[in-house]
Amino acid sequence: MPSDQALIRSTACTIVGQLNSSEVTPLDLLDALEKRIAEVDRKTNALPILCFDRARSHAKALMQKPPGERGLLAGLPIPIKDLTNVAGVRTTQGSPIYKDNIPANSDILVDLIESNGGVVFAKSNTPEFGAGANTFNEVFGPTRNPWDLSRSAAGSSGGAAVALATGMAWLAHGSDMGGSLRNPASFCGVVGLRPSIGRVPHTPAAKIDRTLGVQGPMARNVEDLALFLDAMSGEHPADPLSLPRLPTSFLSAARSGNKPKRIAYSADLGITPVDPEVAAITRKAASRFAEAGVLVEEAHPDLREAHECFHVLRAFDFAISKAALLRNKREYLKPEVIWNIEEGLKLSVEQLERAEAQRLAMTTRTLEFFKNYDLLLTPATIVPPFPIEHRYVGECAGKKFDNYVEWLGIVYAITLVCCPALSLPCGFTASGLPVGLQIVAPSRGEAALFAGAKVLEDVLGMRHATPIDPRGSAR
- HSE-CB of 450 using CA atoms within 13 angstroms: 27
Active site residues: 81, 156, 180
Helix axes 108-115, 222-232, angle to 10 degrees: 110
Give the residue among 351, 344, 337, 360 at the shortest CA–CA distance from 416. Answer: 360
For residue 159, the one-letter residue type is: G
Reported as half-sphere exposure (CB side, CA atoms, 13 A), residue 93 has a value of 17
Residue 241: CB atoms within 10 A of its CB come to 17
Q: Closest Cα to residue 119, out of 25, 38, 185?
A: 25
CB 182 within 8 A of CB 380: yes
**Cβ-contact 265, 287 below 8 angstroms:** yes
Burial annotation 348-386 (CB, 10 A radius, 16+ → b, else e): eeebeeebeebbebbbeebeebbeebbbbbbbbbbbbbb
